Chain A
């Protein structure tokens, strides 16, 4: 299995809602990532988990809360988002200290 699976594919949420994005991989990778991608821009790193521990937080606002319950799963909890947070949210995984990351298909998030 060489897939990184993200759910849901699309999400529309209000500014007062709480929602979660989910990511799963079964490649035995112990590094997992959240990226945010705005239209016509490259992916922007948000968080990195290594061995299920948060290793990098790129100064992301606290309305985004990551969680890594086990080595195969990665969640991104969303609360009180702003319309400018609308974007494609990409999950990726890799071997630890390997730059060769595999991306999921992404969740297209719209905040209204």
Chain B
């Protein structure tokens, strides 16, 4: 079946440095790719998304890039802060049933 692979599973960076999380997807017809942030004990929150008609999207310190040919997309967080510590999930929208396929998640740890 269709799947989304996400790496790394854990990422530890120094406060102020950048963090990059990568995902690959299998459904070549997917055209919507959201990123969710989930803090401990809280709900997943959509932080940024990208559609297949663009290659990059930025929102302040967060950016997402998409390479449709290679079927991968990445989340970039610059100038990381302690409040960026959370689990981040990528997802891809399946064209066949319009449902999200989720990556396994990346635990981001910001070291002070």
Contact = CB atoms under 8 A, between A and B. Distances in A.
Interface of A: 40-43, 45, 48, 56, 90, 97, 99-106
Contacts of B43: 90, 103-106
25 contacts: A40-B105, A42-B89, A42-B91, A42-B103, A43-B44, A43-B89, A45-B99, A45-B100, A56-B99, A97-B98, A99-B32, A99-B34, A99-B93, A99-B98, A99-B100, A100-B34, A100-B46, A100-B49, A101-B46, A103-B43, A103-B44, A103-B45, A104-B43, A105-B42, A106-B43
A97 B100 CA distance: 11
A63 B21 CA distance: 37
Given A43-B44, A103-B45, 10 more contacts: A40-B87, A41-B105, A42-B91, A45-B99, A56-B99, A90-B44, A97-B98, A100-B46, A100-B49, A101-B100
Interface residues of B, number: 21
Interface of B: 32, 34, 42-46, 49, 87, 89, 91, 93, 97-100, 102-105, 107
Q: Is the interface of B mostly helix, strand, loop or mixed?
A: strand
A41 B89 CA distance: 9
A90 B105 CA distance: 17
Nearest to A91: B43
Contacts of B105: 40-42
